[in-house]
Amino acid sequence: MFRMISYPLTEDGPVWPHNPPPVRLEPYERIADGDMANTTVLHLFSHSGTHLDAPWHFNPAGLPAVDLPIESYVFQRPLVVEVPRPRGGFIGQDALEPLHNDLVGADLVLLRTGWSAAREVDPGKYGLGGPVLHPDAAAYLMDHCPRLKGVGIDAISIGSPAFIDETMAAHRILTGVGRTDGRFALIFEDMRVDADLGNARRIYAWPLMIVGSDGSPCTMVAEFMDQ
């Protein structure tokens, strides 16, 4: 059984403040106008809708998505971390330490804050920023999760415009800035984090393979064992 855990792109979808719309559709050919087919020019922003931050987003020495091994986008040991937080609430190291034994084996850590409830009822508020992954928590994940390949959150970002310093620091830590071992974690933002995703057999996250892009809208699918 498969379940979509990414949001479809829409022209009026929520965005980080001052970012362009997630997508703009420009009709190129239309059967109704006498053309042979319907075709469309897609104008996309790399960090809208459910999307990933590739290492190059914050790490000048990091790779774009297209240059990563395909295995980077397949996760077999997801872990949902329940961290209900209000807008601007920090997710700190103290929230992760009690889960150490589970985190050690996880290759994808999914932060379930509850903030996604605002996406439908108040997308403007949702886009202004939700809970914030504190840099000490980002560092804890990188230092204590040897299998970690990705971190996801049910908010517009792991950061907030109200806490830019912490937001920048957490992104830099996860994208591997300053590390000598080459490790990094992909960042998945504005995604659905269902409570049962820890039971998924696999989670797939497929970006658009665009040469040189620092990130990409991403189709994420959870695979469960058939009931």
**pLDDT value for 223:** 98
- Tokens of residue 160, six digits: 């907030």
**pLDDT value for 226:** 80
Q: For residues 145-157, b (16+ Cβ closer than 10 Å) or e, as one string? A: beebbbbbbbbbb
Query: Which domain covers residue 127, as residue numbers?
Result: 2-223
pLDDT digits (tens, 9 = 90+) for 48-69: 999 999 999 999 999 999 999 9
CA distance 201 to 222: 8
Report if pTM > 0.85.
yes
Low-confidence ranges of the chain (pLDDT < 70): 227
CA angle, corner 211, sides to 209 and 213, nearest 5? 85
Q: In total, how many domains does the chain have?
A: 1
Contacts of 155 (CB under 8 A, 6+ apart): 113, 115, 116, 126, 129, 130, 131, 189, 190
**pLDDT value for 145:** 96
**pLDDT value for 97:** 97
CATH number at residue 206: 3.50.30.50
**pLDDT value for 227:** 62
| Distances from the Cα of 215 to the Cα of 13, 136, 187, angstroms | 18, 24, 9
Which among 183, 213, 201, 184 is positioned nearest to 48, based on CA atoms? 213
